[in-house]
Amino acid sequence: MNHLVLGIESSCDETGIGLYDSRAGLLAHTVFSQIDMHAAYGGVVPELASRDHVRRIIPLIREAMAKGGRSLSQITAIAYTTGPGLAGALLVGASVAEALATSLSVLALPVHHLEGHLLSPMLATEPPHFPFVALLVSGGHTQVMRVDGVGKYELLGESVDDAAGEAFDKTAKLLGLPYPGGPVLARLAAQGVPGRFKLPRPMIHSGDLNFSFSGLKTAVLTAARQPGFLPDQQADLAAEFQEAVVDVLCAKAIAAIRQTGLKQLVVAGGVGANVRLRERLRDEMARRGGRVYFPELEFCSDNGAMIAFAGAMHLMAGRQPAERGGSFAVRPRWPLAEVSG
């Protein structure tokens, strides 16, 4: 059976719409980023995020339908991010998706945001195949998972405190860099030399697949406050910070590859856009006769294409969503391992 799935993402500060056809692939996607609006406050303001999703969502759906050359009446299901994320922001996408699905008499499919990220490398022209190890590195999560199929996710390790993206963002803020800090800090790091400052590699020898990144920002702050620290040393400090995060992410991802005996590593989430992380993982996996897969850059950050795709994958795997008697809820906190195929 052919499925035409509309995907809706509104968990944080991007409104994203995707249109995925199970035979023809991704037909269109549209996204609006609220970065400029939140920049004035130095971070995401949840209430402003919700209001902006309300403003953008319908025009973005119209635009995606027009780009994809399909009409609403051809849609067979609507997938939307149910969580994790900001409650108010999630509710905007959920209400629009459920209302539209009811009016079109089609299925509404709740999708886990991280599942969207995790499957997004499969939208690439050379996709990975199950089973694989996934390194999920977003603003809110750092997790290593074994993925055996759609809905078959085993958590192997995760951050016990800050996520890698969060560590980038918080460290950038401490260094006085503008929001959104992660990519700005990464650009600064590219101009510096790692090793001139010495930062710890937290939990690198812990013997498990867990991470801890919250201490790094304090170590950066301590270094930046040393008497004699010059502004033009900031790039070197940023480079050492990035190298510390990348060292730990690589070490744990490779340990998961060794532990599972799998040959494919999939990296997903916003930090997956980090150039240094991409370089290092490519080298490390090639040396082991394996391969690393990344989402296309436009699918690293939040988008609706990955949600439409995750919904379509569940439909193609024969999953029917649980009967909810006309009601729906969002799940601002929702462990990925609770998603089942």
Q: Who's near 82: CB < 8 A, 6+ residues apart?
A: 90, 94, 110, 111, 112, 329, 330, 331, 334
Which residues is 157 bridged to in the sheet? 144
Q: In this chain, which of 168, 293, 299, 309 binds ligand KG4, going by CB under 6 A?
A: 168
∠ CA 150-300-311, rounded to 5°:
30
Q: Does 16 bind ligand KG4 (CB under 6 A)?
A: no
Q: Does 169 bind ligand KG4 (CB under 6 A)?
A: yes
Of 68 and 140, which has the nearer Cβ to ligand KG4? 140
The CA-atom distances, in angstroms, between 50 and each of 8, 34, 76, 112, 299 are 14, 10, 27, 19, 22
- Closest approach, Cβ 274 to ligand KG4, in A, equals 4
Contacted by 21, from ligand KG4, Zn ion, none: CB < 5 to 8 Å by type: none
Of 171 and 264, which has the nearer Cβ to ligand KG4? 171
Contact mark string toward ligand KG4, 185..204, x via CB under 6 A: -x------------------
Residue pair 113/81 in contact by the 8 Å Cβ criterion: yes
- Closest approach, Cβ 48 to ligand KG4, in A, equals 17
- Closest approach, Cβ 90 to ligand KG4, in A, equals 12
Q: Does 182 bind ligand KG4 (CB under 6 A)?
A: yes
Q: Does 294 bind ligand KG4 (CB under 6 A)?
A: no
49-56's contacts with Cβ under 8 Å and 24+ in sequence apart are 49/12, 49/13, 49/86, 49/88, 49/89, 50/86, 50/88, 50/89, 50/91, 50/92, 52/15, 53/10, 53/15, 53/89, 53/92, 53/93, 54/92, 56/15, 56/32
Chain positions 110 to 149 lying near Zn ion, rule: CB under 5 A, are 138
- Closest approach, Cβ 109 to ligand KG4, in A, equals 19
- Give residue number: closest CB to ligand KG4: 182
Please state, in angstroms and rounded to a whole number, the distance separating the CA atoms of residues 261 and 81: 32
Contacted by 236, from Zn ion, ligand KG4, none: CB < 5 to 8 Å by type: none
Contacted by 311, from ligand KG4, Zn ion, none: CB < 5 to 8 Å by type: none
Q: Is 338 helix (H, G, I), strand (E, B) or coil?
A: helix
Chain positions 288 to 307 lying near Zn ion, rule: CB under 5 A, are 302
Q: Tokens 């499969």 — which residue?
A: 122
Please state, in angstroms and rounded to a whole number, the distance separating the CA atoms of residues 88 and 86: 6
Q: Does 271 bind ligand KG4 (CB under 6 A)?
A: yes
Contacted by 169, from Zn ion, ligand KG4, none: CB < 5 to 8 Å by type: ligand KG4
Of 209 and 267, which has the nearer Cβ to ligand KG4? 267
DSSP alpha helices (H): ranges in the chain?
35-39, 46-68, 87-104, 113-119, 164-174, 181-189, 214-224, 234-260, 275-287, 305-316
Q: Does 82 bind Zn ion (CB under 5 A)?
A: no
Q: What are the residues binding ligand KG4 (CB under 6 A)?
A: 12, 117, 138-140, 165-166, 168-169, 180-183, 186, 269-271, 273-274, 301-302
Binding residues for Zn ion (CB under 5 A): 138, 302
